[in-house]
Structure 1
């Protein structure tokens, strides 16, 4: 289906929710109403963490049938396949996003990289998945990214670790290039964003010569992001590569505000 000459009508809810049954829509409406109650969310979150910590029976079942079912396609690529196929029947595309933040050992970071590569290969074989989303924080220790951004002197061991981060990012982007896929590299907290920006720029210069393979994400609640987008547009023209830009509101407003106080 060729949609290049069609406009997306965001008010067309019939098309937007074509893949959902009436029962599923009512469940989603109820869930979002509950999520609008801040006190209830705080209590439920605390209870869920406590229940998970103490391995309370049926905790996983409750979570998977509510929050998980609404926001997550599956725990594995194979589990996600059913959700992807269901959406694709209504011509709705999916973005694969592997959640692996907070890891710290090199073994775990390498494993996350392996999983992202598997996601790219999986997506390449699926008509309904044109892009895979990755987070650099899933491939690096945050304290290392903070140190790089602060321009602190790195030890030899830290330099080696940072080189491995760059190698992981390159490996994933290269796999996307080789298989005709696309990569969204997510924006993150402002105190680790600069090294991520540099890595994304390097990847775009390397792989976006003929088409967009790598997309930079711009969190537009940051007042410096529009000038950065404009500057990057000119850099891409000068270096003769295609700029991939994903514009989002941003996901870290509360953390950014708390850190600024």
Structure 2
């Protein structure tokens, strides 16, 4: 998919940086120390580097994405648009707004531009599946190669601590993930279970994989071993290139299996620093419980470094439908306010742990919520956590949240953009799903749209 030129580029200070009214020295002065109240209403700082076309495109796309009618029918509308010759329009508008590209050259150009603004890359391939959708090992192998290519792209530029997001449902069947998750949640000896998979990953396994008394059938065992070898290839490459791997959380019935595989990887590859990070969805009622189980497990019995991505969550509609269908309790918090309370509780807990454990506990605050960002920055100052390399960083989606991302970067914080990559055909279904799943984020972008309008008026002087 990607062809990588063997060149590394060192980033100096671009003209774009000065547009924001900050110098590198000024940002460096703010790496630690006093609490700073961010101005999330400064449209010049947020959008000073964008062209007029980019401003118009962003405003148009974000307004369209705020419509329930369009979002609810997005997959059908995008499919029809492409079918009747609208591919070039989709590419120049929707695709370019949210996607970094589908070649190494395009993605690296996107990374360079962000780096000139003090923003780091978190690359995300568009691969995942649900129950009953897959099982094709050749597809999983191609997905593995894509992740390996992403790691090489992320490492190709001289940017601090690049990241790659990984959806494990792209490396093995969702059905097998659920089977592994059921074994994990009912296991009376989770440490032995994790270490069994770790040994299998590293090549030390017998003819039958026995997971705490449960033997997989022949097909499941074969598929699991293939998945573990793919995971090992990804971990080896990430370790070589010094690229952190952030394992995405998915549906609740996937997540126990995802945690098991992630912990098995952590046990080997997180000994020196947190190479593999798990994701905690704070819109789930059990998010705090899960974190309170896994963080001590990693720092204690596994004797490893802990890494985490904390998000509010993106599968709310599907989770509610699934719970209603099975007649089980809805796993999602009752409302947004409860989710925010859950998020800030977990955020505060992790900040305390990062202050206490140093490099043994790192995490990314993936949020478009201004209050959470302000709360985190104040708490970091109180705990004297270094803004740039103290193990705590921030992240927003590429194409959104620039009014949050840029003030953070200007103030010396480590901040990332989650950049989707892939072809138009691959990305359109992905974007449609993300629009539905991240409805609250998109609908909550009113301030960003207002700032875009102000910046356009300034540019056109009316």
2:255 matched to 1:193?
A: yes
Question: Which blocks of at least 5 consecutive residues in structure 1 are unaligned?
Answer: none
Aligned pair in 2 of structure 1 residues 251, 144: CA closer, same or farther (>3 Å)?
same
2:114 matched to 1:114?
A: no
Measure how far apart 1:236 and its partner are. Answer: 2.1
Cα deviations across residues 200-236 of structure 1 (Å, max 9, x unaligned)? 1121221111211111111111111111112222112
Counterparts of 1:198 and 1:242 in 2: how far apart (Å)? 16
TM superposition score normalised by structure 2: 0.52
Aligned pair in 2 of structure 1 residues 201, 148: CA closer, same or farther (>3 Å)?
closer
Residue 82 of structure 1 is aligned with which of 102, 109, 125? 109
SS at match of 1:199: helix
Higher relative contact order (CA 8 A, sep 6+): 2
Measure how far apart 1:109 and its partner are. Answer: 0.7
Residue 287 of structure 2 is aligned with which of 225, 239, 245? 225
Correspondence for 1:210: 272
Counterparts of 2:290 and 2:102 in 1: how far apart (Å)? 36
Counterparts of 1:101 and 1:90 in 2: how far apart (Å)? 31
Correspondence for 1:64: 91
Residue 95 of structure 1 is aligned with which of 102, 116, 122? 122
Counterparts of 2:115 and 2:222 in 1: how far apart (Å)? 42
Counterparts of 1:150 and 1:233 in 2: how far apart (Å)? 21
Counterparts of 2:67 and 2:295 in 1: how far apart (Å)? 41
Measure how far apart 1:10 and its partner are. Answer: 6.9
SS at match of 2:120: coil
Correspondence for 2:176: 144
Aligned pair in 2 of structure 1 residues 220, 13: CA closer, same or farther (>3 Å)?
farther
Return 194-203 or 92-101, whichever deviates more: 92-101
Q: How many residues align?
A: 258
Counterparts of 2:142 and 2:44 in 1: how far apart (Å)? 41
2:306 matched to 1:243?
A: yes
SS at match of 2:273: coil
Aligned pair in 2 of structure 1 residues 212, 4: CA closer, same or farther (>3 Å)?
farther
Return 237-246 or 248-257, whichever deviates more: 237-246
Cα deviations across residues 135-164 of structure 1 (Å, max 9, x unaligned)? 101111112222333449742012110221
TM superposition score normalised by structure 1: 0.89
Measure how far apart 1:101 and its partner are. Answer: 2.3
SS at match of 1:94: strand
Aligned pair in 2 of structure 1 residues 81, 201: CA closer, same or farther (>3 Å)?
same
Counterparts of 1:150 and 1:36 in 2: how far apart (Å)? 38
Aligned pair in 2 of structure 1 residues 32, 148: CA closer, same or farther (>3 Å)?
same
Measure how far apart 1:105 and its partner are. Answer: 1.4
Measure how far apart 1:15 and its partner are. Answer: 4.1
Measure how far apart 1:44 and its partner are. Answer: 4.8
Aligned pair in 2 of structure 1 residues 67, 236: CA closer, same or farther (>3 Å)?
same
SS at match of 2:306: coil
Counterparts of 1:76 and 1:17 in 2: how far apart (Å)? 26
Question: Which blocks of at least 5 consecutive residues in structure 2 are unaligned?
Answer: 1-23, 184-213, 325-462
Measure how far apart 1:43 and its partner are. Answer: 4.4
CA contact (8 A) 2:181 2:260 kept: no
Correspondence for 1:135: 167
Correspondence for 1:259: 322
CA contact (8 A) 2:244 2:276 kept: yes
Aligned pair in 2 of structure 1 residues 23, 225: CA closer, same or farther (>3 Å)?
same
CA contact (8 A) 1:130 1:182 kept: yes
CA contact (8 A) 2:81 2:87 kept: no
CA contact (8 A) 1:19 1:86 kept: no
Cα deviations across residues 35-73 of structure 1 (Å, max 9, x unaligned)? 111113344532322344xx422x211211222111111
Q: Which has the larger radius of gyration?
A: 2
SS at match of 1:91: coil
